[in-house]
Chains A and B, each alone.
Chain A
Amino acid sequence: MSTGITLEIPAKAEYLSLVRAVVASAAGLDKSLGNQRIEDLRLAVSEATTNAIRAHANLGSDERITIRYGLENDRIEVEVQDHGTGFDPETLNSAGPLTEPGRLGYEGGFGIPLMRILADEIKIHSADEGTTVQLVVYVSPPTKKPPESD
């Protein structure tokens, strides 16, 4: 992303609200993105940032988390980058659907599935030095009004 907004936040939960506000405000500048899609993006980015904060907390890391927001052509891209220990995203869907017996005993496991549903694209690159989650939401072109007839 060559243009856009970059936030560097302390890995603390009290900054989540700020991240959400910035992302929602920036996305709202594009009038073609409906409120529902803005809400979807806001939630997806919040989930990614929450995971990043947890990753730093697990390490006891004081490093900052980076959130990059960019609008290019027909897509909004948001990257959330942490410096945690990384994880294998393919192993995270093991909690199973809520209809499975015993699933209610586990409160977690919704974050990444939610991101996958809410974003139009998601890429997770995770390695020993940290994780970058890239979320993409497509911006629909504005609907053209039919020409008025005389």
Chain B
Amino acid sequence: MLGISHSTRGQWNVLHVMGELDMGTGPQLRQEIVRHVTAGNFHIVIDLQNIDFIDSTGLGILIGGLKRARSHGGDLRCAGLSDHLKEVFDLTGLGNVFALVDLGEEPSTWEDIE
């Protein structure tokens, strides 16, 4: 099961994802990202703080979301990575692709992150 809730921080739409993100649950997140981009929300943060597990399918969905957001002049960033998830990001090279944001900080401090 995957739970997804939504909040906004300035121009950013934050998707709070809960549970395990894999081949079975990943399509839910993809659908939610597509729904936001289609609605014109091109600045998206995926909050992974309450994710217990993410596999290569989940990583692929994040990449697809990033490409989709950037193609509209926006961006997709990640927040709340566990130590293990940070390791997976680094091992796959995703650490150099996604900007990480701290949801405890004001969104104005995220803007210059590249």
Contacts and interface: CB of A to CB of B under 8 A. Distances in A.
Size range of the chain B interface in the assembly: 20 to 34
A13 interface: yes
A85 B81 CA distance: 37
Interface residues of A, number: 28
A114 interface: yes
B67 A114 contact: no
A150 to B, nearest CB: 39
A36 B84 contact: yes
Contacts of B4: none
A99 B93 contact: yes
Contact of A98 (B64, B84, B87, B92): B92
A13 to B, nearest CB: 3
B22 A46 contact: yes
B55 A47 contact: yes
Interface string A56-84: 00000000000000000000000000000
A13 B24 contact: yes
Contact of B22 (A13, A97, A98, A107): A13
22 contacts: A16-B22, A20-B20, A39-B84, A42-B53, A43-B53, A43-B55, A47-B55, A50-B56, A53-B23, A54-B23, A97-B93, A98-B92, A98-B97, A99-B93, A104-B63, A107-B60, A108-B56, A110-B56, A110-B60, A111-B55, A114-B56, A114-B92
Interface of A: 12-14, 16-17, 20, 36, 39, 42-43, 46-47, 50, 53-54, 97-99, 104-105, 107-108, 110-111, 113-114, 117-118
